Structure 1
Amino acid sequence: MIKREGKTMWDAILARFEKQAPASVMARLALERAMPAAWVDEMFETHRQRQYPRELLFSTVVELMSLVSLGLRPSLHAAARQMDNLPVSLAALYDKVRRTEPVLLRALVRGSAQRLEPIVSALGTVPCLPGWQVRIVDGNHLPASEKRLAPLRDQRAAALPGHSLVVYDPDLDLVTDLAVCEDAYESERTGVLPLLDSARPGQLWMADRHFCTRTILQSLQQARAGFIVRQDARHPRIVREGPWHDRGRVETGWVLEQDIHIDEGQAPWRRIELRLDRPTASGESVLWLWSNLPATIDARQIAELYRRRWRIEGMFQRLESVLQSEIRSLGHPRAALLGFAVAVLACNLLAVLKHSVEQAHREQLPEGWEASPYHLAVQVRSRYEGMLVALPVEHWPSWPTVRPAHWRSACWRWHGTSSPVRWPPASAVPR
């Protein structure tokens, strides 16, 4: 190994990229933490059902799809053609992608989020509700694919590849769980049920009115988790309700509260009425929220907390505008859902980078400054490939041996070359 001024040649190259391409260095280090190839293949062996590795490892499939999700390659075909050591044919690769089992996607997202949570927590966050872990759940439907499946080539309508349900932690800005469905028309109310198995005491789950069903709310109640869900117009049926009590004003309107029962003998839940000063975009001037939170959290807090639900919409926006989460060239449901899941992993990586940069510059920049996920992604795309050419993967330090100086140096050097992107303010009117 060549030595230069007490450093190896590879250390010197890494130091140059820390200075010239800090976002790419942070992305590579975070990727090593979140999804090391050995861990991805181990996860595959643990959760696979019918698939098996022969010549093509699952970690290779995830790596190729990551290049597409980050915008480094225009398609999976292009990523595969430019990979020097792809051990199988393109046909075998696409066959592997089309057979990716949904259970693997959930395990991949959950496991990588668990690996990243300690990093974001150590950076320091401001909780939405101190003492509680907040979880926001919502669905996302993939758009019609440009790639026609054989049975649909005589039809004018394009295929809908499927949909997914996402559990999002707004405090850490991480997607913590994912359920995917190959049937684009299956009810989200059914698809969300497996996600509720992860509900725990001390968690607060928030969702829109589509998820206000007896089954979902009672599942959260049995798990001793809290919930705030917007009331649906038709169900569940209330068997008994108490008088309304005035709880005062919040920033967006007036708050009232009453006790409700959906079963006789059941402990009462709370219904919060928020009379808005200004109607929502759909013309609604009154919102009703259901909650089982204890009385120590007053009705005004609950009304304010529900306004945080928009944060998952911001995350979906980043998936669509910053990353390639909707790969229209993939028409097979399992292939398209794999692309979406890998984009979720990339979104979590960008969240770690964003928190790290903000923490590094918190004292030097104005209060409320936010690093731009868009410009982070642009910088990663512009330098990442050249960085790996100059500094091959085998010469990068593994995460356990990463020196904190590498991470701190990259964070300090990234300031964002354009005005920081600010997502909608917390005072936005709830949808």
Structure 2
Amino acid sequence: MLELFRQKMPLSCLLYGLLERCFSAERLDRIFLENAKEQYTREILFSTVCDLMLSVVLKVHPSINAAYQKHPEPLGVTVSALYEKLKGVELPVSQALLRDTSEDLSDILDALGFIPDPWLPGYPVRVLDGNCLAASEKRLAVHREVGGGALPGKSLVVFDPERRLMRDVFPCEDGHAQERRLLGAVARAIRAGELWIADRNFCTEGFLNQLRHHGAYALIRLHRNLPLTEETLFSPVEESQGRRILEKPVTVAGRGYRLVRVELEKPTRDGDLFIDMITDLPADIPATTIADLYRRRWTLETAFQHVERHFNSEIETLAYPKAALFGFALALVAYNISSVMISALDCAHQKPVSKDISGYYIAHEIAATFLALIQLGEGLDWRFVAACAPPEFAAWLRETARNVNLRALRKHSRGPKQPKSKPPYDPKQPHVSTYQLLTGKK
């Protein structure tokens, strides 16, 4: 039966297999036991709570209460007890869930034979940025006398753009907290040889020192409050894509850096006429390459848009910060799963296909078959996907991906939209007859 599903519903099988591996009960309960300090398991397992939340994140159910009502078996706890469990999910548990699954998915990509497109050969790239969760519904007693939006929290996210994986998340319950407060925790995730790209909000002397201390490299937009010593005037480098690029050496806390300036043709929305970046990459890496690397930082913003558009990453009904941040962490794992699924399609065919297939058609195909797969395959045992080694699971993914009909998923490109002039509105004739327009009648 499973082989028939792999032939007829390959995309849904890819997704289901990856979900079963990343969210296996054994993995989830192990992560909970290793990272929870205050919570404990009494009446409901963490894996069960995670399954219910995941169904909301994947938009299978509109709310936790709906997922609770639709659960095929009685959970043995009230919905109030379920919400109590959710509001107490500790931040290290949410963080460990993303870390653990991203490491496994990275190993699977290696076993698939996935070859990353290096941004800068020899330097694994990490992009750091913050994400503030949208205001939740005012469901708590503390919200009753508050007029402003209730922010349930924020987080810093570390993105691996070459493998298209969210690598780490650093959640914070205080929605008004300064993101720089979390940089101390981020420093513990730095590895030697990495290149960290970040916006100017993270341009602090302390973070630069941490990157140096761990043997990593920085490429960060300059913050005007960073204390630096300018040794010489700017030297023009060259023009790239209509932009004039300049460079000069600077010193921060006695350590040498390169200051690269990109002069813009048009000012930014903040009125900036140029962008300054500070880096300690070797001098043999051209300033034009550095400018292009920073420009590609927006890849993480695009990934955030994907998470927001395709998953329920900011559940409005979850007002407690820990519950809301737990849902966001699950959405990041779901993004990684969808990314690996696309990479499996690339690795299963003779040439990369991800640039030629439409995300809309993929989503439509999965929406049309995924529920049927769950209902018809209820008796199937998927536990093997969680137990097998990465090479074995990668082979299963590759064989399943070969059954995907790429022709049905191909993009249909269209030319750029032509500007249209809007006809003047006549209040004396608010409506027109399409029939009369087609027949030329007035």
TM-score, normalisation: structure 1: 0.88
Residue from 176, 200, 210 that aligns with 1:209: 200
Equivalent position of 1:382 in the other structure: 368
Residues 109-118 or 147-156, more deviating? 147-156
Instruction: Work out which of the two has the higher radius of gyration on C-alpha atoms and give 1 or 2.
Output: 2
Counterparts of 1:249-264 in structure 2, within 5 Å, are 249-263=239-253
Residues in 2 aligned to 1:113 and 1:344: alpha-carbon distance in whole angstroms: 10
Partners in 1 of 2:397 and 2:310 — Cα distance? 26
- The code of the aligned residue for 2:274 comes to V
1:117 aligns to 2:106 (yes or no): yes
Q: Does 1:339 align with 2:330?
A: no
User: Would the alpha carbon gap of residues 406 and 241 (structure 1) be closer, same or farther in structure 2, given more than 3 Å must change?
Assistant: closer
Seen in structure 2, the aligned counterparts of structure 1 residues 406 and 173 have a Cα distance that, compared at 3 Å, is closer
Corresponding position of 1:10: none
Q: Which residue of 1 aligns with 2:168?
A: 177
Is it true that 1:192 corresponds to 2:183 in the alignment? Answer: yes
Residue aligned with 1:195, SS:
helix
Shift of 1:147: 4.0
Whole-Å Cα distance in 2 between the matches of residues 223 and 127 of structure 1? 21
* Distance in 1 (alpha carbons) for counterparts of 2:182 and 2:352: 45
Q: CA deviation at 1:291?
A: 0.4
- Cα distance, 1:342 vs structure 2: 0.5
TM-score, normalised to structure 2's length? Answer: 0.86
In structure 2, which of residues 222, 225, 237 is the aligned counterpart of residue 231 of structure 1?
222
Of 175-184 and 117-126, more deviation after overlay is shown by 117-126
Q: Are the aligned partners of 1:272 and 1:290 in contact in 2 as well (CA < 8 Å)?
A: yes
Match of 2:171, SS state, is strand
The answer as to whether partners of 1:33 and 1:116 remain within 8 angstroms in 2 is no
Q: Matches of 2:95 and 2:397 in 1, distance apart?
A: 31
What is the SS of the residue equivalent to 1:123? coil
Supply the AA of the counterpart residue of 1:347. Y
| 87-96 or 198-207, larger mean C-alpha shift | 87-96
Q: What are the superposed Cα offsets for residues 360-385 of structure 1, whole Å, 9 maximum, x if unpaired?
A: 345386xx824444543443343323
State the shift of 1:296 in Å.
2.4
Seq. identity, %: 33
Kept after mapping to 2: 8 A contact 1:148/1:159:
no
Mapped partners of 2:38, 2:400: distance in 1: 45
Contact 1:375 1:416 survives alignment (8 Å): no
Q: Indicate which of 90, 93, 96 corresponds to 1:104.
A: 93
Aligned 8 A contact 2:109 2:394 in 1: no
Match of residue 328, structure 1, among 316, 335, 339: 316
Is residue 78 of structure 2 the alignment partner of residue 92 of structure 1? no
Q: Deviations over 1:269-308 (max 9, x none)?
A: 1100111234444443311000011112221111111111
Q: Distance in 2 between matches of 1:420 and 1:68?
A: 29
**Structure 1: runs of 5 or more not aligned:** 1-12, 423-431
Residue 222 to residue 108, structure 1, CA distance change in 2 (3 Å): same
Residues 101, 406 of structure 1: CA spacing in aligned structure 2 closer, same or farther, 3 A cutoff?
closer
Q: CA deviation at 1:404?
A: 2.7
Q: 1:19 aligns with which of 7, 15, 26?
A: 7
> Residues 13-412 of structure 1 correspond to what in structure 2 (within 5 A)?
13-85=1-73, 86-121=75-110, 122-233=113-224, 235-263=225-253, 266-361=254-349, 363=351, 369-392=355-378, 395-396=381-382, 398-399=384-385, 400=388, 402=393, 404-405=395-396, 407-412=398-403
Paired letter, 1:30: L
Q: Cα distance, 1:64 vs. partner? A: 1.2
Alignment partners' CA distance in 1, 2:329 and 2:283: 38
Quote the offset at 1:411 in angstroms: 4.5
- Provide closer, same or farther for how the CA distance between residues 152 and 346 of structure 1 changes in structure 2, counting only shifts above 3 A: same
Q: SS where residue 188 of structure 2 aligns? A: helix
* Aligned pairs, number: 405
1-structure distance, mates of 2:181, 2:264: 31
Structure 2 CA distance for aligned equivalents of residues 416 and 98 of structure 1: 45
**2:406 is paired with a residue of what secondary structure?**
coil
Q: 8 Å contact 1:44–1:104 — kept in the other structure?
A: yes
CA distance in 2, matches of 1:66, 1:126: 31
Q: Deviation string for 1:227-262 (max 9, x for gaps)?
A: 1000112x1111342232222122251211111112
Equivalent residues of 2:357, 2:410 under 8 A apart: no
Change (3 A) 1:377 1:200: same
Contact map agreement 2:94 2:326 (CA 8 A) in 1: yes
User: Cα–Cα, structure 1 residues 53 and 376, in superposed 2: closer, same or farther, change >3 Å?
Assistant: farther
Q: How far, CA to CA, are the matches of 1:283 and 1:100 in structure 2?
A: 42
Distance in 2 separating the partners of 1:364 and 1:56: 44
Structure 1 residue 44: Cα displacement:
0.8
2:170 alignment partner, SS class: strand
**Equivalent residue, structure 2, for 1:5:** none
- Contact 1:136–1:206 under 8 Å retained in 2: yes
Give the equivalent residue in structure 1 for 2:426: none
The secondary structure found in structure 2 opposite 1:87 is coil
CA distance in 2, matches of 1:300, 1:90: 57
